[in-house]
Structure 1
Amino acid sequence: MKSAILFRAGWRVFFWAAGIWAVLSMGVWSIWLAVNAAGGDAGQLGLTMSPQMWHAHEMIFGFATAALGGFFLTAVPNWTGAKAAPEAFIAGVFAIWLAGRIAVALSGVLPPALTALFDLAFLPILGAKLLTQLLRRPKPQNMMFLLLLSLVWLGDLLVHLQWMGLTGTEAQGLRGGLLAICAMIATLGGRVTPAFTRNALLRAGREDRLPVTRGPLEKAGIALPILTSASVLFGLPDLVSGLLAVGAGLATAGRLAGWQGWVLRDQPIVWALHTGYGLLALGFLVWGLSLLGLGSEIGALHILGIGAVGGMTLAVMSRASLGHSGRALIAPRAVAIGYVLVPVAVLLRWLAASFPGFYDLGVLASAVLWIVAFGLYVMALSPVFFSPRADGKAEA
Structure 2
Amino acid sequence: MNNSTPTTSWFSRLLASTDKAYAHQWFFTAACLHAILVIPLTISARYGYGPTILLMPTGHAFEMLFGLAPALIAGYLLGPMPARRLIWFVGFWLLARIADLIAPFSWLMLLCNALFVLLLAQRLLPRLWAAKKWRNRSLVPLIGLICALTVIIILAGQFDAHLLHRYLIDESVQLFALLMLFIGGRMLAPAAAGEFYRQGKELTARVQPRLEGSLILIITAAYLLAPIAASLSGLLLISSGLIAGIRLSRWQLWHCRARPDLLCLGLGYGWLALGLILLGWSKWEGGLYFSTAAHAITVGALGTLATNVIVRVTLLHIKQYPSRITLIVTMTSYMTLAAITRMAADFSGNRELLLAIAALAWSLAFLFALYIVLKGLTTPRPRRPAKTTTA
The interval holding the TM-score normalised by the smaller chain is 0.7 to 0.9
Q: 5 Å matches for 1:320-331?
A: 320-330=313-323
Once the two structures are superposed, residues 274-326 of structure 1 have per-residue CA deviations (whole angstroms, 9 ceiling, x without a partner) of: 11111000000011101112852111000000011111111112111111222
Are residue 272 (structure 1) and residue 264 (structure 2) matched?
yes
Q: Which moved more, 1:190-199 or 1:112-121?
A: 112-121
Q: Which amino acid aligns with 2:51?
A: L
CA distance in 1, matches of 2:126, 2:182: 21
* Identical-residue share of aligned pairs (%): 23
Q: Which residue of 1 aligns with 2:177?
A: 182
CA distance in 1, matches of 2:363, 2:166: 25
Are residue 350 (structure 1) and residue 339 (structure 2) matched?
no
Q: Structure 2: where are the runs of 5+ without partners?
A: 1-9, 386-391
- TM-aligned CA distance change 1:43 to 1:17, over 3 Å: closer
Q: Which amino acid aligns with 2:41?
A: V
Are residue 312 (structure 1) and residue 305 (structure 2) matched?
yes
Q: Which amino acid aligns with 1:45?
A: P
Where has structure 1 moved over 6 Å in runs of 4 or more? 3-7
2:120 to 120, 126, 133: 126
- TM-aligned CA distance change 1:269 to 1:340, over 3 Å: same
Q: CA deviation at 1:151?
A: 2.2
2:242 to 234, 246, 250: 250
Q: CA deviation at 1:131?
A: 3.2
Could you tell me whether the CA contact under 8 Å between 2:178 and 2:215 is conserved in 1?
Answer: no
- Matched length: 369
Could you tell me whether the CA contact under 8 Å between 1:72 and 1:130 is conserved in 2?
Answer: yes
CA distance in 2, matches of 1:20, 1:356: 30
Could you tell me whether the CA contact under 8 Å between 1:10 and 1:69 is conserved in 2?
Answer: yes
Tell me the TM-score normalized by structure 1: 0.85
CA distance in 2, matches of 1:97, 1:30: 23
Q: CA deviation at 1:72?
A: 0.9
Q: CA deviation at 1:211?
A: 4.0
CA distance in 2, matches of 1:151, 1:104: 20
1:56 to 29, 53, 61: 61
Q: Structure 1: where are the runs of 5+ without partners?
A: 36-41, 75-83
- TM-aligned CA distance change 1:231 to 1:332, over 3 Å: farther
Once the two structures are superposed, residues 236-291 of structure 1 have per-residue CA deviations (whole angstroms, 9 ceiling, x without a partner) of: 33213212211111111111110111111332211111111110000000111011
Match of 1:368, SS state, is: helix
Q: 5 Å matches for 1:172-251?
A: 172-203=167-198, 205-208=199-202, 211=205, 214-232=208-226, 235-251=227-243
Q: CA deviation at 1:44?
A: 7.0
Q: CA deviation at 1:112?
A: 2.1
* Higher-Rg member (1/2): 2
Q: CA deviation at 1:137?
A: 5.7
1:392 to 354, 374, 383: 383
Q: Which residue of 2 aligns with 1:79?
A: none
Which one scores higher on RCO, CA 8 angstroms, separation ≥ 6? 1
Tell me the TM-score normalized by structure 2: 0.86
Are residue 107 (structure 1) and residue 103 (structure 2) matched?
yes
Are residue 73 (structure 1) and residue 78 (structure 2) matched?
yes
1:159 to 153, 173, 185: 153
Match of 1:259, SS state, is: coil
